[in-house]
Amino acid sequence: MKRIAVVALNTFREAVRDRVLYNLVFFALVMMAASILAGQISIGIEQTVIVTLGLSAISVIGLLISVFIGVGLVSKEMDKRTLYALLAKPVRRWEFLLGKFGGLVLTLAVNTAAMGMGLFLALLYAKQTLERGDATVFVAVYFIWLKLALVVALALLFSCFTTPLLAILFTAGLYVVGLYVQELRDLPKGVMSPGMAAFTKWLSYLLPNFENFNVMALAAHGRQVPGAFIVQNTLYAVVYCTLVLTTAVAVFSKRNLK
Protein backbone atom coordinates (compact mmCIF):
# COMPACT_ATOMS: atom_id res chain seq x y z
CA MET A 1 0.00 0.00 0.00
CA LYS A 2 2.83 2.38 0.85
CA ARG A 3 4.45 1.78 -2.51
CA ILE A 4 1.19 2.45 -4.35
CA ALA A 5 0.88 5.72 -2.44
CA VAL A 6 4.47 6.70 -3.33
CA VAL A 7 3.77 6.19 -7.06
CA ALA A 8 0.38 7.95 -6.76
CA LEU A 9 1.84 11.01 -5.08
CA ASN A 10 4.56 11.27 -7.69
CA THR A 11 1.93 11.01 -10.44
CA PHE A 12 -0.01 13.76 -8.72
CA ARG A 13 3.14 15.87 -8.51
CA GLU A 14 3.78 15.31 -12.22
CA ALA A 15 0.26 16.47 -13.06
CA VAL A 16 0.51 19.49 -10.78
CA ARG A 17 3.70 20.55 -12.55
CA ASP A 18 2.17 20.06 -15.99
CA ARG A 19 1.25 23.43 -17.49
CA VAL A 20 -1.26 21.88 -19.87
CA LEU A 21 -3.39 20.97 -16.91
CA TYR A 22 -3.53 24.56 -15.68
CA ASN A 23 -4.47 25.74 -19.15
CA LEU A 24 -7.37 23.29 -19.24
CA VAL A 25 -8.62 24.21 -15.77
CA PHE A 26 -8.28 27.90 -16.63
CA PHE A 27 -10.30 27.27 -19.77
CA ALA A 28 -13.01 25.57 -17.70
CA LEU A 29 -13.19 28.53 -15.31
CA VAL A 30 -13.45 30.94 -18.26
CA MET A 31 -16.30 28.80 -19.58
CA MET A 32 -18.08 29.18 -16.24
CA ALA A 33 -17.58 32.92 -16.23
CA ALA A 34 -18.99 32.96 -19.73
CA SER A 35 -21.95 30.93 -18.53
CA ILE A 36 -22.83 33.77 -16.14
CA LEU A 37 -23.00 36.12 -19.12
CA ALA A 38 -25.00 33.60 -21.09
CA GLY A 39 -27.30 33.15 -18.08
CA GLN A 40 -27.93 36.90 -17.87
CA ILE A 41 -29.32 36.99 -21.39
CA SER A 42 -31.39 33.85 -20.80
CA ILE A 43 -34.28 35.35 -18.92
CA GLY A 44 -35.82 32.94 -16.42
CA ILE A 45 -33.50 30.02 -17.09
CA GLU A 46 -30.22 31.41 -15.72
CA GLN A 47 -29.68 28.43 -13.45
CA THR A 48 -30.29 25.93 -16.25
CA VAL A 49 -27.83 27.69 -18.56
CA ILE A 50 -25.12 28.19 -15.94
CA VAL A 51 -25.29 24.64 -14.55
CA THR A 52 -25.54 22.97 -17.95
CA LEU A 53 -22.65 24.94 -19.41
CA GLY A 54 -20.57 24.61 -16.26
CA LEU A 55 -21.05 20.86 -15.84
CA SER A 56 -20.40 20.33 -19.56
CA ALA A 57 -17.14 22.27 -19.25
CA ILE A 58 -16.07 20.20 -16.22
CA SER A 59 -16.95 16.99 -18.04
CA VAL A 60 -15.21 17.88 -21.30
CA ILE A 61 -12.03 19.16 -19.62
CA GLY A 62 -12.01 16.16 -17.30
CA LEU A 63 -12.40 13.81 -20.25
CA LEU A 64 -9.52 15.46 -22.10
CA ILE A 65 -7.31 15.07 -19.03
CA SER A 66 -8.45 11.48 -18.38
CA VAL A 67 -7.95 10.26 -21.92
CA PHE A 68 -4.73 12.04 -22.84
CA ILE A 69 -2.93 11.93 -19.51
CA GLY A 70 -4.48 8.53 -18.72
CA VAL A 71 -3.07 6.96 -21.87
CA GLY A 72 0.30 8.61 -21.18
CA LEU A 73 0.47 7.33 -17.59
CA VAL A 74 2.13 4.08 -18.55
CA SER A 75 2.98 4.51 -22.23
CA LYS A 76 5.07 7.64 -21.56
CA GLU A 77 6.99 5.83 -18.84
CA MET A 78 7.65 2.91 -21.18
CA ASP A 79 8.50 5.17 -24.10
CA LYS A 80 10.93 7.35 -22.17
CA ARG A 81 12.14 4.37 -20.15
CA THR A 82 11.66 6.16 -16.83
CA LEU A 83 10.01 2.94 -15.73
CA TYR A 84 13.22 0.92 -15.85
CA ALA A 85 14.89 2.38 -12.78
CA LEU A 86 11.59 2.23 -10.91
CA LEU A 87 10.84 -1.44 -11.63
CA ALA A 88 14.33 -2.35 -10.46
CA LYS A 89 13.21 -1.22 -7.00
CA PRO A 90 11.16 -3.52 -4.79
CA VAL A 91 7.89 -2.49 -6.42
CA ARG A 92 5.55 -4.85 -8.23
CA ARG A 93 4.07 -4.01 -11.56
CA TRP A 94 0.52 -4.00 -10.21
CA GLU A 95 1.56 -1.60 -7.46
CA PHE A 96 3.01 0.72 -10.09
CA LEU A 97 -0.16 0.52 -12.18
CA LEU A 98 -2.50 1.15 -9.27
CA GLY A 99 -0.27 4.00 -8.12
CA LYS A 100 -0.46 5.64 -11.51
CA PHE A 101 -4.23 5.21 -11.56
CA GLY A 102 -4.58 6.53 -8.03
CA GLY A 103 -2.38 9.53 -8.80
CA LEU A 104 -4.43 10.64 -11.77
CA VAL A 105 -7.74 10.00 -10.04
CA LEU A 106 -6.48 12.13 -7.14
CA THR A 107 -5.49 14.86 -9.61
CA LEU A 108 -8.94 14.68 -11.19
CA ALA A 109 -10.56 14.87 -7.75
CA VAL A 110 -8.72 18.11 -7.00
CA ASN A 111 -9.46 19.51 -10.47
CA THR A 112 -13.13 18.63 -10.58
CA ALA A 113 -13.54 19.86 -7.00
CA ALA A 114 -11.90 23.18 -7.94
CA MET A 115 -14.01 23.50 -11.08
CA GLY A 116 -17.14 22.40 -9.20
CA MET A 117 -16.50 25.09 -6.60
CA GLY A 118 -16.08 27.62 -9.43
CA LEU A 119 -19.42 26.54 -10.86
CA PHE A 120 -21.12 26.77 -7.48
CA LEU A 121 -19.77 30.28 -6.96
CA ALA A 122 -20.95 31.26 -10.45
CA LEU A 123 -24.39 29.91 -9.59
CA LEU A 124 -24.40 31.73 -6.26
CA TYR A 125 -23.39 34.98 -7.97
CA ALA A 126 -26.20 34.64 -10.51
CA LYS A 127 -28.96 33.56 -8.10
CA GLN A 128 -27.87 35.49 -4.99
CA THR A 129 -29.75 32.88 -2.90
CA LEU A 130 -29.27 29.21 -2.17
CA GLU A 131 -31.77 26.40 -2.21
CA ARG A 132 -31.44 22.83 -1.06
CA GLY A 133 -31.60 21.55 -4.62
CA ASP A 134 -28.49 23.53 -5.56
CA ALA A 135 -26.39 20.94 -3.74
CA THR A 136 -27.19 18.59 -6.64
CA VAL A 137 -24.42 20.44 -8.50
CA PHE A 138 -21.95 18.77 -6.16
CA VAL A 139 -23.53 15.35 -6.73
CA ALA A 140 -23.26 15.96 -10.47
CA VAL A 141 -19.59 16.90 -10.11
CA TYR A 142 -19.02 13.76 -8.00
CA PHE A 143 -20.64 11.63 -10.71
CA ILE A 144 -18.42 13.29 -13.33
CA TRP A 145 -15.42 12.37 -11.22
CA LEU A 146 -16.61 8.73 -10.97
CA LYS A 147 -17.07 8.67 -14.73
CA LEU A 148 -13.59 10.10 -15.24
CA ALA A 149 -12.08 7.45 -12.96
CA LEU A 150 -13.66 4.83 -15.18
CA VAL A 151 -12.27 6.52 -18.29
CA VAL A 152 -8.78 6.61 -16.72
CA ALA A 153 -9.01 2.88 -15.96
CA LEU A 154 -9.96 2.16 -19.58
CA ALA A 155 -7.21 4.43 -20.93
CA LEU A 156 -4.73 2.66 -18.68
CA LEU A 157 -5.90 -0.76 -19.86
CA PHE A 158 -5.62 0.12 -23.56
CA SER A 159 -2.24 1.78 -23.12
CA CYS A 160 -0.93 -1.47 -21.62
CA PHE A 161 -1.18 -3.36 -24.88
CA THR A 162 -1.40 -0.93 -27.75
CA THR A 163 0.10 2.29 -29.07
CA PRO A 164 -0.87 5.59 -27.42
CA LEU A 165 -2.78 6.74 -30.51
CA LEU A 166 -4.87 3.58 -30.68
CA ALA A 167 -5.38 3.67 -26.92
CA ILE A 168 -6.78 7.21 -27.23
CA LEU A 169 -9.08 6.10 -30.05
CA PHE A 170 -10.26 3.00 -28.18
CA THR A 171 -10.92 4.93 -24.97
CA ALA A 172 -12.73 7.77 -26.72
CA GLY A 173 -14.69 5.28 -28.83
CA LEU A 174 -15.74 3.25 -25.82
CA TYR A 175 -16.79 6.42 -24.03
CA VAL A 176 -19.06 7.43 -26.89
CA VAL A 177 -20.51 3.92 -27.10
CA GLY A 178 -20.97 3.94 -23.32
CA LEU A 179 -23.25 6.95 -23.60
CA TYR A 180 -25.73 4.87 -25.58
CA VAL A 181 -25.87 1.68 -23.53
CA GLN A 182 -29.48 2.35 -22.55
CA GLU A 183 -30.44 2.62 -26.24
CA LEU A 184 -28.81 -0.75 -26.80
CA ARG A 185 -30.95 -2.24 -24.03
CA ASP A 186 -34.07 -0.62 -25.45
CA LEU A 187 -33.63 -2.16 -28.90
CA PRO A 188 -36.78 -4.06 -29.94
CA LYS A 189 -35.87 -7.63 -29.01
CA GLY A 190 -38.98 -9.02 -30.70
CA VAL A 191 -37.67 -8.43 -34.21
CA MET A 192 -34.26 -9.95 -33.42
CA SER A 193 -33.10 -13.52 -33.61
CA PRO A 194 -32.64 -15.08 -30.12
CA GLY A 195 -28.85 -15.09 -30.61
CA MET A 196 -28.75 -11.42 -31.51
CA ALA A 197 -31.07 -10.52 -28.65
CA ALA A 198 -28.80 -12.33 -26.19
CA PHE A 199 -25.73 -10.72 -27.72
CA THR A 200 -27.06 -7.16 -27.43
CA LYS A 201 -28.25 -7.89 -23.91
CA TRP A 202 -24.85 -9.10 -22.77
CA LEU A 203 -23.08 -6.37 -24.68
CA SER A 204 -25.16 -3.73 -22.97
CA TYR A 205 -24.07 -5.09 -19.58
CA LEU A 206 -20.45 -5.50 -20.61
CA LEU A 207 -20.02 -1.97 -21.92
CA PRO A 208 -19.51 0.80 -19.38
CA ASN A 209 -22.69 2.74 -18.87
CA PHE A 210 -21.57 6.37 -18.84
CA GLU A 211 -25.05 7.78 -19.25
CA ASN A 212 -25.86 6.64 -15.70
CA PHE A 213 -23.48 9.29 -14.40
CA ASN A 214 -25.30 12.10 -16.14
CA VAL A 215 -27.55 14.02 -13.72
CA MET A 216 -27.12 17.33 -15.48
CA ALA A 217 -30.84 17.80 -16.03
CA LEU A 218 -31.62 17.26 -12.33
CA ALA A 219 -28.86 19.66 -11.28
CA ALA A 220 -29.92 22.27 -13.83
CA HIS A 221 -33.44 22.31 -12.35
CA GLY A 222 -32.33 22.12 -8.74
CA ARG A 223 -33.89 18.70 -8.18
CA GLN A 224 -32.39 16.27 -5.70
CA VAL A 225 -30.71 12.99 -6.56
CA PRO A 226 -31.90 9.95 -4.52
CA GLY A 227 -29.30 8.62 -2.08
CA ALA A 228 -29.73 5.08 -3.41
CA PHE A 229 -28.75 6.29 -6.88
CA ILE A 230 -25.56 7.84 -5.48
CA VAL A 231 -24.68 4.54 -3.77
CA GLN A 232 -25.53 2.56 -6.90
CA ASN A 233 -23.34 4.73 -9.15
CA THR A 234 -20.48 4.64 -6.65
CA LEU A 235 -20.61 0.84 -6.45
CA TYR A 236 -20.89 0.55 -10.23
CA ALA A 237 -17.77 2.71 -10.72
CA VAL A 238 -15.81 0.81 -8.06
CA VAL A 239 -16.71 -2.63 -9.45
CA TYR A 240 -16.15 -1.65 -13.08
CA CYS A 241 -12.81 0.05 -12.28
CA THR A 242 -11.73 -3.04 -10.34
CA LEU A 243 -12.52 -5.31 -13.27
CA VAL A 244 -10.78 -3.06 -15.81
CA LEU A 245 -7.73 -2.56 -13.59
CA THR A 246 -7.48 -6.28 -12.89
CA THR A 247 -7.37 -6.90 -16.64
CA ALA A 248 -4.81 -4.11 -17.07
CA VAL A 249 -2.63 -5.63 -14.33
CA ALA A 250 -2.85 -9.06 -15.98
CA VAL A 251 -1.75 -7.61 -19.32
CA PHE A 252 0.94 -5.31 -17.96
CA SER A 253 2.45 -7.96 -15.69
CA LYS A 254 3.35 -10.05 -18.72
CA ARG A 255 4.42 -7.23 -20.97
CA ASN A 256 8.01 -7.11 -22.19
CA LEU A 257 9.35 -3.59 -21.99
CA LYS A 258 11.31 -2.25 -24.95
Partner 1 sequence: MRQALSKNENMTELAIDTENLTKEYPYGFLHLKKKASLEGLNMQVETGEVFGFIGPNGAGKSTTIKLLLRLIFPTAGSARILGKPIGDIDMHRDIGYLPEQPYFYDYLTAEELLDYLARFHDLTAADRKARIQRMLKKVGLETAKKIQLRKYSKGMLQRVGLAQAILHDPKVVILDEPMSGLDPVGRREVRDIILELKRDGKTVLFSTHILSDAEMLCDRVGVIVGGKLRGVGAPEQIVDMKSQGMEILFELPGQSTTPLLSKATRTGDRYRLQVPEEEIYGAIDQLRAAGARILSVVEMKATLEEYFMNLVEADRAQAAAVEVSGK
Residues at the site binding partner 1, with contacts judged by CB under 8 A: 3, 6, 10, 13-14, 17-18, 80-82, 84-92, 254, 256-257
Nearer to partner 1, 2 or 132 (CB): 2
Neighbouring CB atoms inside 10 A of 206's CB total 9
Work out how close the CB of 7 gets to partner 1 at its nearest, in angstroms, rounded to a whole number. 9
Nearer to partner 1, 96 or 210 (CB): 96
Work out how close the CB of 3 gets to partner 1 at its nearest, in angstroms, rounded to a whole number. 6
Rounded Cα distance between 74 and 153, Å, is 11
Spatial CB neighbours of 90, under 8 Å, sequence gap ≥ 6: 3
Work out how close the CB of 26 gets to partner 1 at its nearest, in angstroms, rounded to a whole number. 19
Cα–Cα separations (whole angstroms), residue 74 to 42, 171, 185, 239, 257: 45, 15, 34, 22, 11
Work out how close the CB of 60 gets to partner 1 at its nearest, in angstroms, rounded to a whole number. 25
Question: For the residues of 60-98, what is the DSSP string, one character each?
Answer: HHHHHIIIIIHHHHHHHHHHHTHHHHHHTSS--HHHHHH
Nearer to partner 1, 6 or 179 (CB): 6
Nearer to partner 1, 41 or 88 (CB): 88
Rounded Cα distance between 146 and 183, Å, is 21
Work out how close the CB of 14 gets to partner 1 at its nearest, in angstroms, rounded to a whole number. 6
Rounded Cα distance between 160 and 144, Å, is 24
Nearer to partner 1, 85 or 191 (CB): 85
